[in-house]
Structure 1
């Protein structure tokens, strides 16, 4: 083959890619072959084969399609010419090749091929597989990371797997590290017993960890190889035994609240072990069982930078629920053995159940918290002091019980020591938990009860940490006189304080004031509190974190209040106080409306009660007006925002300017009281038909400065009448406005718009009973009704659907391009003035679908200029079309371009399916979905249907709009100008352009 350079080059490249495996064998990763066996390389090699001309015909294609692996094996054993025979015998893709066929094809070279084929087919580890691997196969372990450790029944190795030969971590590019547990053959254990142990541990791991629990170590894969029973697990940093021996805390455990988070997760894992529920309808699996661990100790708990994971289920079992959990106790090592495990006189094992795990968990909690507060020296003292004589008086032990079923007195004393550390309320709750878990078996709580208790403690610990550091930040800013942010941070401290009071945090009550809050929102709440703490923590190296006692008395010291003042911040960047405000607001969103109102009352009271100085209250009002969420806007934002408003408009728009646009009563003598789905029509004094849009008074107006409202109203009245109007800016010309009456429900303003010129005159006045306009929502409803009897005639032409979608996207592009946000896009605000009479009764059909090509967008009652400088009313509390609103708008309250994009996406989904959203969202199974779940349902169930109706391009456009793929930061509280600009650019390229191409296509 040396004289055939093409074949020789392939051989050399394969050898260069050969990887040494543990055990003395080697392999060539299949993933390396495509880069070696390119079309050009294979074609060159085929030209060098010793075969007839006709055998070369199509051989390159056949090899590339079916036989790269086989060709590589043949080249490796220096027999590439046999590839022709493999093709003739249809064996190019037959792998592994059996001995009989190998001898037929290769003769004396068959043994070499049979050995070499495994070099190119190393075993590929798949997550969740449980297999027996043939001895000839090569395992892709390429390195032993650490020395092997041995236990009573098995060995533990830390190994590296080639990244291309596993799917445990698909995105891995470097070596993948795992732990391998091997149950080896030992003389004292029968083969039957060894296999039973292996099967039992696998069963526990697979059933207990379903669904996967973040605090139970996952079984990545299990296999039997050369008689060894092996299980693979993720490699974590250390076990808890090694962790407790460290002189300094590891990772996030430098903060005491991390211990509670880790223990809470471990308790949740134990509860899942004790209550096994596996229901897989597709696999016909329905199991309700009782599990136990029975070997809970530090060596069997794994640790990462912030969590504990339950591991080693060698002693665990799962039983059917009806059988109970009692089982004979097996002699174990360690100090956590429960008193009911052995007879104090005979030391014989007794029947035990899940309660032994609860005892062991209580022991573990106590040792972990001793280490947390007092370090390794404290834990050593605790263990030494537990070394006391047993019942016989001759043998000493370090158990937590005295051998007579009672907790040792020294353990009680150490529980008191731990309870005295940290926050008093956390200590009291921790003391109750420890004492309850170390009670006699009949009085011991279940693991689920322990989990709920720890969730409560964990929430308290995180809340106190976040509150303390926020309070310390306020105190530090008061000392350094950082007046620009002091009052804003003080507000957030008081709001966080009110949140804690409403929940009943930092009280000695076992349960929270709000039932099931920890269960429903505890995890999310802890995440937000942790983020608050991390944002306020000092950078590493700047000193230790200040931990002070939390006090939940309302109010603030008068001397601190004296320093509160207002300074303008830099609106060009996100300030720390704005980030903290967003996070505290996220906590408030976890409360119900009633609980939120209670917290608001507490917060307002704490502020008003802080001072009686008018000047200070005036300063406080200025800062309140500068904050965005609705809770801050009880007073108008006139004083602080007037300067910003004047700077923005350069004093060009005044009340007098707006007065010139105000209409008198006789200007619009007739307004039709019969609204067409919320829209009004009228006739002006010249007899021309007009469209009337009522902007009802809303309490949210009070938080918009009157001067700014003047600007916005003037812009609504004048800003869209430019001539010539951009073709895609499909809004009506406004002729003015008039003020409505002040009766309840009708106060506000009515904006008057001209009809399109072609149907504006009295001659075109509709006949009795005929509407002057139709909305897209009405058309969809009519078609849905008609579809019950005829599924096809109510569909518009595909091209007209594309054109309507393109026009709406183009409108939004123009609207955003001139600096406005709509905030109220939905299909009832898309209207058509010119349509065939038949449409009114029968909806759209192929013959009348051209109606769709003349849409106008109305519903401008909420429109405003874009940008942070302009106030927003926030999401309306009452709306007939809430499902068009972006799910995050309720939480961010600050509108952004991406929210208009989402509303457009909903309309494009309606257009594509030609089905109104109400027909989908109003179904019984969907009517109670939250906004986020409704979106997920639409994306998962209805978006795929667009593909075969509208094509992939249209489907992809709607997906981008509904899935926030255009908005780089959809959850950001304050829309970033740069991000908004990027989103708009993406909208132009990824929405407007492809829709325009579809609209202009020959459909």
Structure 2
């Protein structure tokens, strides 16, 4: 076996592809071949140790543990019998290589053979992050393949295959492909190595990884991961990639450049290093493109790092001419110019312009040809394709960028083109900084990533006819709107914060990957796993928000769901609302139910739609309700209600519901809804169905409500028909666990409007006691919150006034104590849009209508805010609007003039009595349109206008009023 062993070792050899082109023997293969038993057999045959088993065992163990390479070297030349000389002198593998002098104990031939062969058994093992190594000329590099793949003015680049067992550059033991940059000049190599070592401390994902360096036989090599494609080749091949990948890649390069320009590291708490850096050779050829389309900045041969107290300008040593700025070359003297960090910004702008060309579907080569110039430099004919001409931006560049921006619908591409224009500043001292460019590029990349994820969510099919009824698509819709709400909030708070947008990008990439994988293979078993992954990713990005921010985003989420206009989808959300697990989706399910029912109510009577069918009639018999006598004049302190100026209001009355499930006959308020007498003979199933839907909208058991709407809006339990008076009566129980009165009152309860209370508890009223200021604040902020909540579901009130704010009290003398529990009524006349069965308002409500609406304009969301503002003004001044109107001079007779009079003369008075927050909230309500237009939030009727109005109402009225406390 010993005679065959040299041959077996020889067959393990691999020839190095670089000088000295010798064979090396991977340690891993030697260990597999030379087992302890193999060693023992060889020793037994050569050392006559067959009779000494113990020595044989100990020698084999020592060789295997410490001297395997030495033993293999000796075996290869057939001199393994000399191994005991090494063992007795404690010469181990770690001492390799040996000089001839150190092996004096060996005969001359074995000594020479060993010195020559030993290099093959101690090949260089490449270590990640190792210091610069100076290798012996006889050292064997474990490069089993090598081919030149690039060449520059400062050296050559090779593609190298490294034997897997001789590298610790990657986690596995497989053969590894790397790039080797070879430089002949040690100073150049050492300077670039120093730059690379410093940049590695940044651990930046868009700076090429530096694997190490070495020198051997007067050449100097820098090692990097091998990336077969650079951005130049990328642009030439024009691969099919998502735009967001390109934006993200260029954002990464911009951020890397910014970090180089302002280089700062803090290796430990006691050491901080700051430098001024630059690249000075930035071009598509020096940006690598990984398989996953991550872009890497590379080739730092012209880069420098200077102390902060030095000027960053230096004489340019080279670079890619087409991408250099006007300051790089003096045509008069034909010499390179003195340049600084601004040169990199110009180069980056050139690259961005080409990337914009790629994204716009145009030819980069055509763009290059448009910049072609033929000129004489020092009487030498020259052709160049630079982005500047005669010290200014090349006219062809201006024209090209204009065409790109004009012919593309991608707002992110237009933004990137605008960034290019701003960076193309011929004067380097006035040029944008890399940090500013990186911030803008990060915003573009973030918005593009958001747009792509939103598109992927939409592509999953929740909005297609065949899928919209599947539970999975409904959940996807909810996660999609949840994501969109997060993105809107996150952009508002952090859109210009590069650190935050970069930190969140990993989660966004993960979510995008999940959506892409599911859209490519949407199998039924994988749906719910994909949904769990989606939920986890969205949870992760929500988790980066503070508590207050999360609350705001939650409101936005509800708003996103309420933007859904498809009745079928809304109905699914409504039906699933009660089955959603936990509290994750329940709030939006409630709002979807409100939106669905409010749209249902607004459908025209007589139209045809399967969505209008609501199972179960809510109609009651008129005989079941015992009504109080209408228009009963009650005497207060010797005077009747007319003498106090109380308005007649026949729209409501009190009563008792005599037929009711339960032992008690509850007290009810009856709210009348009139219909045109022309309908008197045509009241049929369609109109009754509309009444059913309206009851269901006002019944929280059918249409759940949340927030303050739970206790500031009365619950409706049914309706009855009064054909004699062409009206329907809607019934609102006043007693019960969810009603305004929790248990049966011991005395009768009377119904008052807030307008009544303002008069009865005013200076001229019988009860001059006003409510506590805290009670007024509570009512004001709850009215605002309630209105915001129903508006979010597309439910407009239409008739807000102090006549529609109801107070229930045993008597006039306790009125001031019951204002805090007032409710907002009149919802049986409310609708999301114009309703075919709602009549115009009564004359005494006209003061609360917006002047535009009184002039026959279409009702808008902001008109409800105007009416609420009038009520809040009444509460703050404790005076009915009609009194203010009667006191106004004739010049304010027109509604618009009176509105301006209120803003100018009365609203400011609120500051003293109610505080600045309350005053400003009222001012916003009375002047909503002007304030929105001044902020550029759009025009009524355009997409997104109502939502913008609602969000502004929330930020300027609802949330500020929450701060009004006593």
Bin of the TM-score, shorter chain as denominator length:
0.5 to 0.7
The alpha-carbon distance between structure 1 residues 63 and 515, as it changes in their structure 2 partners (threshold 3 A), is closer
1:135-284 superposed matches below 5 A: 135-144=137-146, 146-147=147-148, 149-173=150-174, 175-184=175-184, 194-246=185-237, 248-249=238-239, 254-281=241-268
Q: Offset at 1:153? A: 2.9
Q: For 1:213 and 1:516, how far apart are their aligned partners in 2? A: 14
Q: Offset at 1:26? A: 0.3
Q: Offset at 1:429? A: 2.1
Counterpart for residue 395 of structure 2: 409
Q: Which of 276, 287, 290 does residue 273 from structure 2 map onto?
A: 287
Q: For 1:414 and 1:133, how far apart are their aligned partners in 2? A: 53
Deviations 1:882-915 (A, max 9, x none): xxxxxxxxxxxxxxxxxxxxxxxxxxxxxxxxxx
Q: Do the aligned partners of 1:293 and 1:357 also contact (CA within 8 Å) in 2?
A: yes
Q: Do the aligned partners of 1:82 and 1:106 also contact (CA within 8 Å) in 2?
A: no
The alpha-carbon distance between structure 1 residues 60 and 424, as it changes in their structure 2 partners (threshold 3 A), is closer
Q: For 2:499 and 2:141, how far apart are their aligned partners in 1? A: 49
Counterpart for residue 90 of structure 2: 90
Deviations 1:455-506 (A, max 9, x none): 111110011112123234447523665544443333333323322332347x
Q: Do the aligned partners of 2:449 and 2:508 also contact (CA within 8 Å) in 1?
A: yes
The size of the alignment, in residue pairs, is 586
TM-score by length of 2: 0.56
Q: Do the aligned partners of 1:466 and 1:529 also contact (CA within 8 Å) in 2?
A: yes
Q: For 1:142 and 1:603, how far apart are their aligned partners in 2? A: 58
Q: Which of 426, 429, 432 does residue 412 from structure 2 map onto?
A: 426
Q: Which of 32, 38, 42 does residue 41 from structure 1 map onto?
A: 38
Q: Offset at 1:140? A: 0.6
Q: Do the aligned partners of 1:204 and 1:318 also contact (CA within 8 Å) in 2?
A: yes
Q: For 1:107 and 1:463, how far apart are their aligned partners in 2? A: 75
Q: Which of 553, 576, 601 does residue 623 from structure 1 map onto?
A: 576
The alpha-carbon distance between structure 1 residues 102 and 395, as it changes in their structure 2 partners (threshold 3 A), is closer
Q: For 1:373 and 1:37, how far apart are their aligned partners in 2? A: 62
1:591-606 superposed matches below 5 A: 591-606=545-560
Deviations 1:824-868 (A, max 9, x none): xxxxxxxxxxxxxxxxxxxxxxxxxxxxxxxxxxxxxxxxxxxxx
Matched, 1:132 2:103: no
Counterpart for residue 19 of structure 1: 14
Q: For 2:179 and 2:14, how far apart are their aligned partners in 1? A: 21
Q: Do the aligned partners of 2:314 and 2:339 also contact (CA within 8 Å) in 1?
A: yes
Q: Offset at 1:354? A: 0.6
SS at match of 1:169: coil
Q: Offset at 1:617? A: 5.7
Q: Do the aligned partners of 1:128 and 1:222 also contact (CA within 8 Å) in 2?
A: no
The alpha-carbon distance between structure 1 residues 201 and 92, as it changes in their structure 2 partners (threshold 3 A), is closer
Q: Do the aligned partners of 1:390 and 1:403 also contact (CA within 8 Å) in 2?
A: no
Q: For 1:512 and 1:422, how far apart are their aligned partners in 2? A: 27
Deviations 1:362-411 (A, max 9, x none): 10011022123315xx212211111146699986532111222x212221
Stretches of structure 2 that go unaligned for 5 or more consecutive residues are 594-703, 706-736, 739-966
Q: For 1:636 and 1:332, how far apart are their aligned partners in 2? A: 61
Counterpart for residue 104 of structure 1: 105
- Give the structure with higher Rg (CA): 2
SS at match of 1:295: coil
Q: For 1:340 and 1:229, how far apart are their aligned partners in 2? A: 32
Counterpart for residue 297 of structure 1: 283
Q: Do the aligned partners of 1:456 and 1:518 also contact (CA within 8 Å) in 2?
A: no
The alpha-carbon distance between structure 1 residues 281 and 501, as it changes in their structure 2 partners (threshold 3 A), is closer
The alpha-carbon distance between structure 1 residues 355 and 60, as it changes in their structure 2 partners (threshold 3 A), is same
The alpha-carbon distance between structure 1 residues 302 and 235, as it changes in their structure 2 partners (threshold 3 A), is same
Q: Do the aligned partners of 1:86 and 1:105 also contact (CA within 8 Å) in 2?
A: no
Q: Do the aligned partners of 1:328 and 1:351 also contact (CA within 8 Å) in 2?
A: yes
Q: For 1:285 and 1:98, how far apart are their aligned partners in 2? A: 43
The alpha-carbon distance between structure 1 residues 479 and 100, as it changes in their structure 2 partners (threshold 3 A), is same
Q: Offset at 1:57? A: 7.6
Q: Do the aligned partners of 2:453 and 2:512 also contact (CA within 8 Å) in 1?
A: yes
Q: For 1:57 and 1:397, how far apart are their aligned partners in 2? A: 76
Q: For 2:232 and 2:525, how far apart are their aligned partners in 1? A: 51
Stretches of structure 1 that go unaligned for 5 or more consecutive residues are 185-193, 506-510, 543-568, 641-701, 704-740, 743-1003
SS at match of 1:436: helix
Counterpart for residue 368 of structure 2: 383
Q: Offset at 1:446? A: 1.7
Q: For 2:37 and 2:231, how far apart are their aligned partners in 1? A: 56
SS at match of 1:58: helix
Q: Do the aligned partners of 1:366 and 1:434 also contact (CA within 8 Å) in 2?
A: yes
Counterpart for residue 81 of structure 1: 81
The alpha-carbon distance between structure 1 residues 8 and 627, as it changes in their structure 2 partners (threshold 3 A), is farther
Q: Do the aligned partners of 1:459 and 1:526 also contact (CA within 8 Å) in 2?
A: no
Q: Which of 300, 304, 307 does residue 313 from structure 1 map onto?
A: 300
Q: Do the aligned partners of 1:462 and 1:529 also contact (CA within 8 Å) in 2?
A: no
Q: Do the aligned partners of 2:468 and 2:474 also contact (CA within 8 Å) in 1?
A: no
Q: Offset at 1:286? A: 4.5
Q: Offset at 1:78? A: 0.6
Q: For 2:35 and 2:403, how far apart are their aligned partners in 1? A: 71
Q: For 1:526 and 1:616, how far apart are their aligned partners in 2? A: 27
Q: Offset at 1:618? A: 5.8
Q: Do the aligned partners of 1:488 and 1:623 also contact (CA within 8 Å) in 2?
A: no
Counterpart for residue 320 of structure 2: 333
Q: Do the aligned partners of 1:621 and 1:635 also contact (CA within 8 Å) in 2?
A: no
Counterpart for residue 488 of structure 1: 475
Deviations 1:76-106 (A, max 9, x none): 1111111122223332444222211323223
Q: For 1:570 and 1:297, how far apart are their aligned partners in 2? A: 47
Q: Offset at 1:422? A: 5.3
Deviations 1:35-86 (A, max 9, x none): 2222222222221124577775832233233222211111111111111222
The alpha-carbon distance between structure 1 residues 181 and 30, as it changes in their structure 2 partners (threshold 3 A), is same
Q: Offset at 1:141? A: 0.6
Q: Offset at 1:608? A: 4.0
1:918-957 superposed matches below 5 A: none
The alpha-carbon distance between structure 1 residues 595 and 73, as it changes in their structure 2 partners (threshold 3 A), is same
Q: Do the aligned partners of 1:39 and 1:60 also contact (CA within 8 Å) in 2?
A: yes
Q: For 2:514 and 2:526, how far apart are their aligned partners in 1? A: 22
Q: Do the aligned partners of 1:277 and 1:287 also contact (CA within 8 Å) in 2?
A: yes
Q: Do the aligned partners of 2:462 and 2:476 also contact (CA within 8 Å) in 1?
A: no
The alpha-carbon distance between structure 1 residues 91 and 329, as it changes in their structure 2 partners (threshold 3 A), is closer
Q: For 1:419 and 1:620, how far apart are their aligned partners in 2? A: 41
Deviates more, 1:82-91 or 1:311-320: 82-91
TM-score by length of 1: 0.54
Q: Do the aligned partners of 1:370 and 1:379 also contact (CA within 8 Å) in 2?
A: yes
